[in-house]
């Protein structure tokens, strides 16, 4: 690896880690960066997944204060996330990316709109905000939330750009209102999705290790820094940042697919 490649990949991974800590979507930086230096598509996706997985540990630590509140949710949603992530990784090596990827920009744009309008939608379907995060498990619509999380995990193992904003939208509609607890849950579930996918990619021999290690170190710094400081920002501002990231990722994916 040249000094230029190390510098640019590190910069992309640093920003990707910060994006993932707040809302998600870091893959749209790391994946194209690896492609720009000539890495094949599937190897680039696998390498990006592993690099961002290692960085998530920093973000999980950054949200340690919110962990007690979300432990019951992690137990239930975690199993679905792990199964979906593994199946998505299997699909990546067995199907064409182009067909599925054509739907991704619209899915992400829809999720961003839901995230922005979740308060109005929740009032429309007459769901009150939750008093505690764990109350989500007893809410009507929880089976739909389980199914949605499985599909998000499936997509996350397959490609993964924007899984954070998808999860935030779902949690907001179901009544979670503390954006920091929502980000903590999203971070843990995202780690599980990427973990099972990365393990599969390692055993399948798809990881390019020099690039993966360089990007993992940089993304760890980005994850930890952003998750730590995001909690000092007013929740309304964090929501605006998350929505802006979702809209930008949607626009980039639309341009990539149809531009």
- 25 class by beta-carbon count within 10 Å (0-12 exposed, 13-18 middle, 19+ buried): buried
- CB-CB neighbours of 52 under 10 Å: 32
pLDDT of 126 strictly over 70: no
Tell me what pLDDT residue 113 has: 76
So what's the pLDDT on residue 24? 67
Domain that holds residue 80: 3-258
pLDDT of residue 122: 57
C-beta of residue 34 within 8 angstroms of C-beta of residue 47: yes
Percent above pLDDT 90 for the chain: 24
Q: Is residue 128 pLDDT above 80, yes or no? A: no
Across the chain, mean pLDDT equals 81
Query: Among 67-71, 93-97, 126-130, 209-213, which is the least confidently predicted range?
Result: 126-130
pLDDT band at 120 (very low <50, low <70, confident <90, very high): low
The Cα-based distances of 142 to 61, 107, 134, 165 in angstroms read: 27, 21, 12, 18
Residues 6+ positions from 154 with CB-CB distance below 8 Å: 84, 85, 87, 88, 91
**pLDDT score for 235:** 66
- More confident site: 219 or 98: 219
- Average the pLDDT over 32-48 and give the result: 87
pLDDT for 198 equals 93
Which carries the bigger pLDDT value, residue 148 or residue 97?
148
Q: Which residue has the tokens 């924007």?
A: 162
Tens digit of each residue's pLDDT (9 = 90 or more) over 184-216 = 898 899 889 999 999 999 999 999 999 999 999
CA 75 – CA 108 distance, rounded (Å): 26
List pLDDT tens digits, range 100-111.
567 667 766 776
pLDDT over 80 at 153, yes or no? yes
pLDDT at 208: 95
DSSP structure class, residue 130: P
The count of structural domains within the chain is 1
Residue predicted with more confidence, 17 or 141: 17
DSSP letter (8 states) at residue 162: T
pLDDT tops 60 at residue 127: no
Render pLDDT for 140-151 as a digit per residue (tens, 0 to 9): 778 888 888 999
**In the chain, what are the helix, strand and coil shares in percent, each to the nearest 5?**
80, 0, 20
């Amino acid at each position: 690896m040249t000094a230029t490649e190390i510098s640019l990949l590190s910069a992309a991974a640093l920003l990707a880690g910060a994006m993932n800590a707040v809302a998600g979507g870091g893959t749209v930086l790391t994946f194209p960066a690896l492609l720009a230096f000539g890495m094949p598509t599937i190897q680039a996706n696998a390498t990006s997944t592993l690099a961002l997985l290692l960085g998530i540990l920093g973000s999980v630590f950054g949200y340690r204060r919110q962990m007690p509140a979300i432990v019951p949710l992690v137990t239930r949603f975690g199993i679905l996330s792990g199964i979906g992530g593994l199946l998505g990784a299997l699909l990546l090596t067995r199907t064409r990316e182009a067909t599925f990827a054509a739907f991704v920009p619209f899915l992400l744009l829809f999720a961003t709109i839901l995230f922005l309008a979740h308060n109005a939608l929740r009032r429309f379907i007459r769901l009150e905000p939750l008093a505690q995060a764990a109350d989500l498990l007893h809410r009507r619509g929880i089976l739909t939330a389980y199914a949605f999380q499985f599909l998000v995990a499936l997509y996350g193992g397959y490609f993964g750009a924007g899984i954070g904003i998808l999860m935030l939208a779902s949690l907001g509609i179901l009544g979670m209102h503390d954006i920091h607890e929502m980000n903590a849950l999203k971070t843990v579930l995202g780690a599980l999705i990427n973990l099972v996918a990365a393990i599969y990619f390692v055993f399948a021999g798809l990881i390019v290790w020099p690039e993966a290690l360089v990007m993992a170190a940089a993304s760890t710094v980005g994850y930890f820094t952003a998750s730590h400081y995001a909690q000092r920002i007013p929740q309304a501002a964090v929501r605006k940042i998350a929505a802006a990231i979702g809209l930008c990722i949607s626009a980039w994916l639309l341009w990539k697919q149809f531009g």
